[in-house]
């Protein structure tokens, strides 16, 4: 069976994206006034000022739509932002072997592959049309399962939607405004600095859309399950489950799923084993019923 490129999560993700745009409309108005004022201060005509104001007001949205339709230019920008490098010859051979096992009819492979020499990044992830793999994960015996999972994201709209949501505002301007507020100095100077910082925050946007963060994380966790299912349909669910077992010591509890973009690894393993035919058995169901009915003093 040919794995689907578009999953059912597309509609819910696009709905969240539309709500993100709608909640950030006040920032659009602030950017329009700011852009118009800057253009008029340089002596631009009224028509040119309106053009500048419109371009500046909607530039984050246009950038988001570009990420959604084309994906980010990882080869030019994100590669250097992650500190990634091209794989060595032996790493390239191993990654090529894993990909050749996963890529079947109807499965789109990554356009570029990079390696990250850091233990502080996920074992593997995709951004745009590129696959990023952490150096130690290249030599994992379960590399094929990790790659199959990331192909699930690559062959769906998942990562493009996540990038589009991040690009719907100006986080650099928010950071600049926060830096100004942390500056120390005389009170007479702090007031105008605070006004400038407030203006930067208003222009940056992205404040009201933060109300959707719990929904975005819920959507992200659902997409992780979908990518797991994609790996299982490619025939590498057991390999991915084994890789997740190695990550269990690092899977910390998070009350109310606060800040979690991934489901708990144990639950992902349970689903993968069920999809591979190892999870649903009379013995296992009997153990679940016994555990549910037992009274622990």
pLDDT per position as a tens digit, 5-45: 445 567 788 999 999 999 999 999 999 998 898 888 888 88
SS3 52: helix
Burial (0-12, 13-18, 19+ Cβ within 10 Å), 292 = exposed
Contacts of 173 (CB under 8 A, 6+ apart): 200, 201, 203, 204
Confidence tier at 279 by pLDDT (50, 70, 90): low
Consecutive H or E run containing 114: strand 112-116
Question: What would the two tokens of residue 174 be?
Answer: 């928010």
Residues 197 and 178: their CA atoms lie apart, in Å, by 7
Give the pLDDT band (50/70/90) at residue 104. Answer: confident
What's the confidence (pLDDT) of residue 5? 46
- Structure-model confidence comparison of residues 160 and 242, the more confident one: 242
Segment 134-144 mean pLDDT: 94
Q: How far apart are CA 198 and CA 195, in angstroms?
A: 5
Crossing angle, helix 25-41 and helix 46-70, to 10 degrees?
140
Query: Cβ(80)–Cβ(116) under 8 Å?
Result: no
pLDDT, position 195: 87
Beta carbons of 34 and 56 less than 8 angstroms apart: yes
Q: Which residue has the tokens 């253009």?
A: 39
pTM for the full model? 0.82
At 251 the three-state DSSP class reads coil
- Would you state the structure tokens that stand for residue 130, as one six-digit string? 């590129």
Q: Which two tokens stand for residue 30?
A: 């602030």
- Beta carbons of 35 and 57 less than 8 angstroms apart: yes
SS3 112: strand
Instruction: Please report which residue ranges of the chain form alpha helices under DSSP H.
Output: 9-23, 25-41, 46-70, 78-81, 89-102, 135-138, 143-154, 158-166, 171-181, 187-204, 213-233, 237-247, 265-275, 282-293
How far is 155 from 119, CA to CA, in rounded Å? 26
Percent of all residues in the chain with a pLDDT value above 70, rounded to a whole number:
87
Distances (CA, A) of 52 to 48, 60, 167, 169, 201: 6, 14, 20, 17, 20
Greater confidence (129 vs 72) lies with 129
Q: Are 171 and 209 in contact (CB under 8 A)?
A: no
What mean pLDDT is reported for the chain?
Answer: 85
């Amino acid at each position: 069976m040919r794995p689907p490129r578009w999953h059912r999560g597309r509609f819910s993700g696009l709905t969240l994206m539309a709500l993100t745009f709608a909640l950030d409309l006040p920032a659009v108005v602030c950017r329009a006034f700011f852009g118009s004022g800057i253009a008029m201060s340089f002596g631009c005509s009224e028509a040119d000022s309106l053009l500048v104001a419109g371009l500046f007001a909607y530039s984050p949205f246009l950038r988001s739509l570009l990420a959604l339709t084309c994906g980010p230019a990882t080869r030019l920008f994100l590669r250097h932002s992650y500190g990634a490098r091209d794989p060595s010859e032996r790493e390239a051979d191993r990654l090529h072997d894993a990909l050749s096992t996963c890529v079947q009819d109807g499965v789109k492979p990554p356009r570029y592959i990079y390696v990250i020499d850091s233990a502080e990044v996920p074992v593997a992830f995709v951004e745009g049309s590129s696959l990023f793999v952490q150096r130690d994960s290249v030599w994992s015996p379960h590399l094929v399962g990790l790659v199959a999972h990331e192909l699930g994201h690559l062959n769906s709209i998942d990562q493009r939607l996540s990038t589009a949501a991040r690009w719907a505002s100006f986080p650099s301007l928010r950071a600049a405004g926060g830096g100004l507020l942390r500056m120390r100095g005389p009170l007479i100077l702090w007031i105008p600095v605070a006004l400038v910082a407030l203006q930067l925050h208003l222009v940056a946007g992205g404040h009201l859309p933060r109300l959707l963060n719990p929904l975005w994380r819920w959507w992200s966790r659902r997409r992780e399950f979908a990518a797991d299912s994609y790996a299982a349909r490619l025939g590498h669910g057991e390999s991915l489950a084994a890789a997740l077992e190695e990550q269990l010591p690092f899977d910390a509890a998070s009350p109310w799923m606060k800040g979690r973009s991934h489901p708990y690894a144990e639950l992902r393993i349970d689903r993968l084993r069920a999809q591979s035919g190892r999870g649903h058995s009379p013995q296992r169901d009997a153990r679940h019923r016994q555990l549910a009915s037992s009274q622990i003093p």
